[in-house]
Amino acid sequence: MKPDISSQEDIKLLVDTFYNKVQTNATLGYIFNDVAKLNWDEHLPKMYSFWGSLLLQEHSYQGNPMQIHVELSKITTMSSVEFSEWINLFYQTVDELFEGEIASEAKIRAANIARLMQHRIEIIK
Least gap, CB of 38 to ligand HEM (angstroms) = 5
Q: Which is nearer to ligand HEM, 38 or 97 (CB)?
A: 38
Interaction of residue 70 with ligand HEM, rule CB under 6 A: no
**64: Cα separation from own chain's centroid:** 13
Among 48, 86, 98, 121, the residue binding ligand HEM under the rule CB under 6 A is 86
Among 11, 14, 89, 114, the residue binding ligand HEM under the rule CB under 6 A is 114
